[in-house]
Amino acid sequence: MSFIEMKNICKKYAGAEKNSVTDFNLNIEEKEFIAFVGPSGCGKSTTLRMIAGFEEITSGELKIGGKVMNETAPRDRGIAMVFQNYALYPHMTVEKNISYGLKNMKVPANEIKKKVDWAIKILGLEEYRKRKPKNLSGGQRQRVALGRAIVKNQKVFLMDEPLSNLDAKLRVSMRNEISKLHRELGSTTIYVTHDQVEAMTMADRIVIMKDGVVQQVGKPMELYEHPVNKFVAGFIGSPQMNFYDVTINGNAVQFADGSKIILPENIIAKLNGKKDGLILGIRGEDIKLDSQNLDLYKNSVQHAVVENTEVMGNENNLYFTFGGVNTVARVSKYEISKVGDKIDFVFSPARIHFFDKETEKSIF
């Protein structure tokens, strides 16, 4: 039996034509870190709020620790929640914000002090304990919100886009702090984010949602290497996977602009004779410009003109048109090209994905 069990969970708001969440099924083990990701409006926050008890479950069953929680009040579910907007009391100091929930729970004063001191220390807030929220940075406020959650000593932590209000540098720092905190506390954490980088770097498993429906659940690299459909393939990874409408003629893959690449027989065989209605997908790092790959796959060398570049420091993104599609190749920092340069490149055959154009499901 899993620690959290969600069976056929649905949410439909009054007056709505369709569900906001449909048949959500997921088992979460104790101490797991699970991330819900997807575009805005996909149902990830709604699902989190149903787990918390802030939204009523229209149908389906939620169990935590083997107990059905559908009708249980939020305060009795054994959860602590961290919100996007911090939700701190502006008139209270750091230590009073952290202790407020414990006071409401009638925890003895000496135990409150012990827990607050522990939280302030573990979150590096010692010098700010007497400050009010208006005198704190965004990262410090977020740590106070985390402190308020962890002192309750709950087994489940729910986090709803807690880092979205922070700048890029602070997000990286807070990602590390939350991951470290999760390991130290040994809690079960469900983390909602629209940022797939956060999900990839923090979670044990990721749940990818679209239009209220779970698309795929898996470990970060499982989703990256083996997406079940075009949506997952395009959502996970930065820059996004390149997609092309193609047809198959023997061992040749024909692109919309007339370009062709030759694939090995064992790869073509995986298509089971399907010749059209195909989408080819390849990630930017699997488009190769180096001489070794150009020589190895010399029958499939393609040509393009660089239209834009992004110098990232440790790597470069090159943008060009190929197959009638805007394409991006991710190359090493040593492969320097500038706008207007003519480049030769090949697709790494073993890294190519094929999707059915009609269903968008992965063929391989």
pLDDT in tens, 289-299: 999 999 999 99
Mean pLDDT of the region 50-54: 97
Mean pLDDT of the region 142-171: 87
- Residue 212: predicted pLDDT: 97
Structural domains counted in the chain: 2
- Residue 142: predicted pLDDT: 87
Q: Are residues 265 and 224 in the same domain?
A: no
- Residue 336: predicted pLDDT: 83
Per-residue pLDDT band for 85 (boundaries 50, 70, 90) equals confident
pLDDT tops 90 at residue 10:
yes
Q: Are residues 191 and 292 in the same domain?
A: no
pLDDT tops 90 at residue 104:
no
Decide which of 352 and 1 is more confident: 352
33 lies in a domain?
yes
72 lies in a domain?
yes
Q: Among residues of the chain, what percentage have pLDDT more than 70?
A: 100
Tens digits of per-residue pLDDT, 231-279?
A: 999 999 999 999 999 999 999 999 999 999 999 999 999 999 999 999 9
Of 235, 256, 278, which residue is a domain's last? 235
Of 181, 207, 235, which residue is a domain's last? 235
362 lies in a domain?
no
Closest-CA residue to 207 (of 16, 6, 2, 3): 6
CATH code (residue 304): 2.40.50.140
Q: Which domain holds residue 344?
A: 242-356
- Residue 67: predicted pLDDT: 96
pLDDT tops 90 at residue 9:
yes
283 lies in a domain?
yes
- Residue 76: predicted pLDDT: 92
Q: Are residues 71 and 208 in the same domain?
A: yes
- Residue 138: predicted pLDDT: 86
Query: What rounded mean pLDDT belongs to the chain?
Result: 94
Per-residue pLDDT band for 163 (boundaries 50, 70, 90) equals confident
Q: What does pTM read for this prediction?
A: 0.91
Tens digits of per-residue pLDDT, 61-84?
A: 999 999 999 999 998 999 999 888
- Residue 128: predicted pLDDT: 95
- Residue 44: predicted pLDDT: 97
92 lies in a domain?
yes
Q: Are residues 96 and 166 in the same domain?
A: yes
pLDDT tops 80 at residue 332:
yes
Of 235, 268, 294, which residue is a domain's last? 235
Q: Among residues of the chain, what percentage have pLDDT more than 90?
A: 80
201 lies in a domain?
yes
pLDDT tops 90 at residue 131:
yes
- Residue 351: predicted pLDDT: 97
Q: Are residues 117 and 172 in the same domain?
A: yes
Per-residue pLDDT band for 1 (boundaries 50, 70, 90) equals confident
pLDDT tops 80 at residue 355:
yes
pLDDT tops 90 at residue 166:
no
3-state secondary structure the chain: CCCEEEEEEEECCCCCCCCCEEEEEEEECCCCEEEEECCCCCCHHHHHHHHHCCCCCCEEEEEECCEECCCCCHHHCCEEEECCCCCCCCCCCHHHHHHHHHHHCCCCHHHHHHHHHHHHHHCCCHHHCCCCHHHCCHHHHHHHHHHHHHCCCCCEEEEECCCCCCCHHHHHHHHHHHHHHHHHHCCEEEEEECCHHHHHHHCCEEEEEECCEEEEEECHHHHHHCCCEHHHHHHCCCCCCEEEEEEEECCEEEECCCCEEECCHHHHHCCCCCCCCEEEEECHHHEECCHHHHHHCHHHCEEEECCEEEECCCEEEEEEEECCEEEEEEEECCCCCCCCCEEEEEECHHHCEEEECCCCEECC
Mean pLDDT of the region 341-353: 97
pLDDT tops 80 at residue 160:
yes
Tens digits of per-residue pLDDT, 23-37?
A: 999 999 999 999 999
Per-residue pLDDT band for 173 (boundaries 50, 70, 90) equals confident
